[in-house]
Amino acid sequence: MSVLVLAETSEGKFKKSTFEVTSYGKKVAEQLDTNLVVLAINATENETLYKYGAEKVLNVSDEALATFNAKTVANIVKQAAEKEKSTVVIIDSNANGLYLAPLVAVNLNAGFASNVISLPSSTSPFVVKRKAFSSKAFNNCEISTEVKVIALAKNSYGVFENEVSGTTESFSPEIASSNLTSESIEQTTGTVTIADADIVVSGGRGLKGPENWGMVEELAAILGAATACSKPVSDLGWRPHSEHVGQTGKPVAANLYIAIGISGAIQHLAGINSSKVKVVINTDAEAPFFKAADYGIVGDAFEVIPTLIEKLKEFKAINA
Amino acid sequence: MKILVCISHVPDTTSKINFTENDTKFDSNGVQFVINPYDEFALTRAMWFKEKQAASITVITVGDATTEPTLRKALAIGADNAIRVNATATDGFAVAKELAAVVKNDTYDLILAGKESIDYNGGMVPGMLAGLLDYNFVNACIGLEIEGEEATVSREIDGGKEVLSCNLPLIIAGQKGLVEEKDLRIPNMRGIMMARKKPLTIVEPTASDTATKSTSFEKPAAKSACKLIDADNVDELINLLHNEAKVI
Ligand SMILES: Cc1cc2nc3c(=O)[nH]c(=O)nc-3n(C[C@H](O)[C@H](O)[C@H](O)COP(=O)(O)OP(=O)(O)OC[C@H]3O[C@@H](n4cnc5c(N)ncnc54)[C@H](O)[C@@H]3O)c2cc1C
């Protein structure tokens, strides 16, 4: 028996979310009184995973896997799970993880729970809590199959050190072919993505037009934050669709979410509710966002934000 | 080209989410049900293929009789016929197996679905269906063009997009970008009249085992009140975020 975690790498380096799924996987393994195995593909720093509890790292190194293919990777996860007799397979909720998880579930004939936010409340029956109704509620979900697949929601568990003396074993699975060909990948570099960001700065229709986003971007840059927007802002073409957050856009589970000129419609709040601390800046004291926020300023964004930028610069100069 | 669009019947986005029977069942009392917003993008893209490339569109849902108005709405938007698999959808894997059974019986070139439903947010049915059928599959799809047997598909990746190509048959799990919001269709009177006469076939389930079940629901704990900070005192906000919330 074992618990298997799939590590996500970017240019050979593990993403922070990999440390979170590894930390989580270690605890699940302890609950089941078994070991944690992490499957890493073309990764270079496998030892760093020992710190978070990986007793064994299965290292797959293959040029053919340089470009992600969901079917191929799902097939490798299956082979690893079978080899390690894994009863729980844990996957990260990034774009690639969410793409391949259902395929892994079919491969292993396993029940799948996505959006999981906490450790199993019981392992027999196996019950996990997950987000549902676009974070308006939680759902306790029992997985009854022998093998269980879990996608852990981002920033829901945290990263915990739990040093073990791990080993890395080289693993050469069969590489299944796929009829899907990757033609091109466009990736913005240098900016923080909403999925990976600890802080998200988001603008709404209250900002009046795309020409006013300079201050949003500046604020985000100072905080090392990602920029986001409400749905009408992306529908109007002021900002790209990839920045649309909310029930029908991207979910945000950041440590800090700053909403500027956003009213706080139920569909918007649904998507950002999992963020830990919410700040709202809005001229209208009656805006529904104030009911959902932790901190609020009733004021004009065009006055408050430039001041906030100046003050944060001073703050960062001292606290860098 | 034969297209199948998978439709999920979900509470309207403004619905109050409540539970009954000791928090084990969703309380549908007074709730308006709609076509899952992600599925609307899929259906609208299918309509484009129908109008420009003479495709036929079947819509399908796994659900009891209460889901029929949602299927009729899809017919009113322009789908040609509808299938309802007569089972209550409780587990994504079971739903995917029911859909796979229908597709094995009557094949499709293109299967369009939404990337997740806004009620259970499982995000698994399209991928599982692809796994069960061994069809090509693209998740979080934001662009789809078809030329003969060949498809060019874009998907959203973290911080960007990837363009892929493959042959049909293909399953995609769509989202905004697949079509623009402004191009979404609403049924007109003529569509609604015509929809009444379009075939809606009821298929009995194959009674797949369920792999998961919902044991109970919880609502988020009530939040403490928002701390208001004076607009002239931005320093205080920084202080609170630093010393109290410890997020900067
Ligand atoms: C099916 C469906 C799905 C939806 N999904 C989403 C979703 O995923 N995400 C989403 O965001 N929305 C979604 N919506 C839309 C949602 O209902 C709201 O319309 C939208 O969130 C409003 O965006 P907003 O807050 O930017 O604009 P508005 O509601 O217009 O609010 C603008 C706010 O700015 C404030 N303001 C104006 N001037 C200033 C100023 N100078 N300084 C500070 N504040 C100012 C105003 O007081 C107001 O509160 C959905 C709607 C539907 C029907």
Q: Look at residue B159 in the predicted model and tell me its pLDDT.
A: 87
With a cut of 0.90, is the ipTM above it? yes
For A286: left if phi > 0, alpha if psi spans -120 to 50, otherwise beta; the answer is alpha
A123 inside domain: yes
Which of residues 129 through 158 in chain B touch A, CB cutoff 8 A? 130-132, 136-140, 142, 152, 155-158
If you take atom 30 of ligand 1, which residue's CA is the nearest one? A205
Distance in Å, alpha carbon of A143 to nearest chain B alpha carbon: 4
List all residues of chain B from 83 to 112 with a beta carbon under 8 Å from chain A: 91-93, 96
What CATH number is given to the structural domain containing A26? 3.40.50.620
Q: Check whether residue A204 and residue A61 sit in a common domain.
A: no
Closest residue to B176, CB basis, from A241, A255, A280: A241
Tens digits of residue pLDDT in A125-162: 999 999 999 889 999 999 999 999 999 999 999 999 99
Q: Tell whether A169 lies on the interface with B, counting CB pairs under 8 A.
A: no
Phi, psi of A273 (to 5 degrees): -55, -25
Is residue A131 in a domain?
yes
Residues A203 and A175 in one domain: no
Q: What is the band of A314 on the pLDDT scale with cuts at 50, 70, 90?
A: very high
Output the domain CATH number for residue A302.
3.40.50.1220
Residues A41, A126: one domain? yes
A308 and A168 both lie in a single domain: no
- A233 CA → ligand 1 middle, Å: 8
What is the token pair recorded at A48?
A: 């760093």
Q: CB–CB of B122 and A114 under 8 A?
A: yes
B8, B32, B158: best to mutate for the A interface, most A CBs within 10 A? B158
Residue B168 has pLDDT above 90, yes or no: yes
Q: What is the pLDDT of residues A249-265, one digit of tens each?
A: 999 999 999 999 999 99
Structural domain including A91 reads 2-179
| Closest C-alpha residue for ligand 1 atom 47 | A284
Give the nearest ligand 1 atom to A232 CA: 23
Model pLDDT, residue A120: 98
**Average of per-residue pLDDT across B4-10:** 98
pLDDT at A71: 98
Q: Which domains does chain B have, with CATH numbers?
A: 2-217 (3.40.50.620)
**Best mutation site among A205, A298, A307 for ligand 1 pocket (most ligand atoms within 8 Å of CB):** A205
A154 touches ligand 1 (CB under 6 Å)? no
Domain boundary among A179, A213, A230: A179
Q: Which residue has the tokens 């993880």?
A: A97
- Residue A114 and residue A120: Cα distance in Å, rounded? 13
Residue A283 lies in a domain: yes
Check pLDDT > 80 for residue A13: yes
Assess whether A147 and A283 both reside in one domain. no
pLDDT of amino acid A138? 96
Whether residue A64 is found in the same domain as residue A107: yes
Same domain, A223 and A109: no
Phi, psi for residue B183 in degrees, rounded to 5: -90, -5
Are A284 and A204 members of one domain? Answer: yes
In a domain, A193, yes or no: no
Cα A57 to chain centroid distance, Å, stands at 22
Mean pLDDT of A70-96: 97
Stretch A3-25: mean pLDDT: 94
Q: How many structural domains does chain A have?
A: 2
Return d(Cα A159, Cα A14) in angstroms, integer: 13
Residue A174 and residue A212 share a domain: no
Is A187 within the bounds of a domain? Answer: no
